[in-house]
Amino acid sequence: MKIVAVSSWMEKIKLTQPYTIAYNSFNSTEIIFLEIVLSNGITGIGSANPFEDVTGESPSATLKNLQDGFLQNIVGKNIEDFKKLITLTTQQYKHYPATIAAVDIALYDAYCKYIQKPLVDFLGRKTGPLATSVTIGIKDITSTIEDATNYYNQGFRIIKLKTGQHCDEDAEKVIKLYENFGAKIKIRVDANEGYTIQQLNNFIQQTSFIPLELIEQPLKAGSEDELLSLQKNLQRKIVADESLTGTEAASRLLVPPVPYSVFNIKLMKCGGIAAAKEIACQAAAIDLFWGCNDESSAGIAAALHTAYSCSNTKYLDLDGCFDLTTDPAQNSFILKDGFLYCNNSPGLGITLKK
């Protein structure tokens, strides 16, 4: 089955509320969409939302790459050769993982629609469904509790707090959250590289009586050796995010002694489904945590299908589309009581609003 057309465009989408992390604030997001059309009319849909602070790739760079003429080379090619086409794209855009991810996702979607299989079943379903966390940005304590209460009333039972600006205030918010909800919710924190090892130890000491589930990327990438000073029971909670930018970074982080016990895989960081599967295979002894940016449900669905195809998937943080005021992608997945279920239609099951 031949590929007959490709097209891409950008959507700038406002967030429902401003969002702050340790080193930046946001009130909107720019999402790139890609369509690949087959000769029988099947359309594969990909999307990308790069995070320039981590990978150096901007949304405008992604769109420029997708429109620079290279993708016209896949027009006329057979969709059955989609893996070769992903390899060629990876070679062309080695330093642009979100560009690769957009092409990778669209090709997987088109091929799985062509063979009439959900992507997760083509990859090999291994686990799921799992509950996702929902993220609360850096806010004052009152607003944090209000947001957590709203999410709890919607059925979510895992809250991830953004931290990393002031460790004492972070500890106070975590304590207040625990006082309000106790064991009714699980609490994760994400410092986005905001702590020194001393600040991390201070935060851990202040919250030692709270059963924190995970502590995501507390130190700057490159400071991994300092994490080896933590007690083993604490080190088991530490998640790699900004340190884990792709397959090469995964290889480095797996050299003993291993500083992280959990890997946060984001398709936009590593370069799509094929690269994510490679990391999952490399890290067979590591628990996998699947994350996202502020992105379309198309990208979330791709991450979800990939996550459920990996037996070492333990955690989901696939909430990046919940705060979009609009989303061109529809029918991407099923959300029920905080749990995410794959759409069992062929491919990713996505349609786009026109």
Q: Retrieve residue 343's tokens.
A: 């759409």
Q: How far apart are CA 83 and CA 298, in angstroms?
A: 20
The distance from CA 219 to its chain's CA centroid, rounded to whole angstroms, is 19
Low-confidence ranges of the chain (pLDDT < 70): 354
Spatial distance between the Cα atoms of 106 and 117, rounded to a whole number of angstroms: 15
Residue type, 227: L
- CA gap 179, 183 in Å, rounded: 9
Tokens 């500890």 sit on residue: 171
Tokens of 314: 């333990």
Q: pTM for the whole thing?
A: 0.97
Chain position carrying tokens 């398709």: 267
* Token representation of residue 182: 């106790």
Question: Which residues 6+ apart lie within 8 Å of 11 measured at CB?
Answer: 30, 31, 32, 33, 296, 328
Instruction: Specify the 3-state DSSP secondary structure of 5.
Output: strand
pLDDT of amino acid 354: 67
| 130 close to 335: Cβ distance less than 8 angstroms | no
Q: What stretch of H or E contains 147?
A: helix 141-153
Q: Which domains does the chain have, with CATH numbers?
A: 3-117 (3.30.390.10), 121-352 (3.20.20.120)
In the numeric block, the tokens 């609003």 are attached to 353
Residues with Cβ within 8 Å of 68's Cβ and at least 6 positions away in sequence, in order, are none
